[in-house]
Amino acid sequence: MKRKFFFLSVVLVCFAGGYVLFAQDDLERHPSCPLCGMDRRQYAHSRMLVEYTKNEATGTCSIHCAASEISVNRQKVLVSMRVADYFTRELILAEKASWVIGGSKAGVMTMRAKWAFKGKEGAERFVKENGGQLATYHDAMKATFEDMYEDIKRIHEKRRANQMKMMDVKTFPECKYCGMIREKYATSRALIEYDDGTAVGTCSVHCLAIDLALNTDKTPKAVMVGDYTSKKLIDAEKAFWVLGGNKMGVMSIRGKWAFEEKEESSKFIKENGGRPATFDEVMKAGFQDMYEILR
Q: pLDDT of the chain along its 295 residues, tens only? A: 434 333 333 333 344 444 444 455 899 999 999 999 999 999 999 999 999 999 999 999 999 999 999 999 999 999 999 999 999 999 999 999 999 999 999 999 999 999 999 999 999 999 999 999 999 999 999 999 999 999 998 888 877 766 666 568 889 999 999 999 999 999 999 999 999 999 999 999 999 999 999 999 999 999 999 999 989 899 999 999 999 999 999 999 999 999 999 999 999 999 999 999 999 999 999 999 987 666 5
Cβ atoms < 10 Å from Cβ of 268: 20
- Give residue 114's region: left, alpha or beta (phi > 0; psi -120 to 50): beta
Residue 113 near residue 87 (C-beta atoms within 8 A): no
Give the pLDDT of residue 234. Answer: 92
Name, in order, each residue with C-beta under 8 angstroms of 217's C-beta and a sequence gap of 6 or more. Answer: none
Name, in order, each residue with C-beta under 8 angstroms of 249's C-beta and a sequence gap of 6 or more. Answer: 188, 204, 205, 206, 255, 256, 289
How many residues comprise the chain? 295
First-last CA distance in the chain: 102
Residue 266 near residue 273 (C-beta atoms within 8 A): no
pTM value is 0.56
Cα 263–chain centre separation = 19
For helices 205-214 and 279-294, the axis angle rounded to 10 degrees is 90
Cβ atoms < 10 Å from Cβ of 185: 20
- Give residue 165's region: left, alpha or beta (phi > 0; psi -120 to 50): alpha
Give the pLDDT of residue 163. Answer: 65
Phi, psi for residue 19 in degrees, rounded to 5:
-70, -35
Residue 149 near residue 132 (C-beta atoms within 8 A): no
Closest alpha carbon to 204 in 229, 230, 177? 177
Task: Tell me which amino acid residue 282 is.
Answer: V
Give the pLDDT of residue 290. Answer: 87
How far apart CA 71 and CA 206 sit, in angstroms, is 48
Query: Which residues partner with 32 through β-bridges?
Result: 39
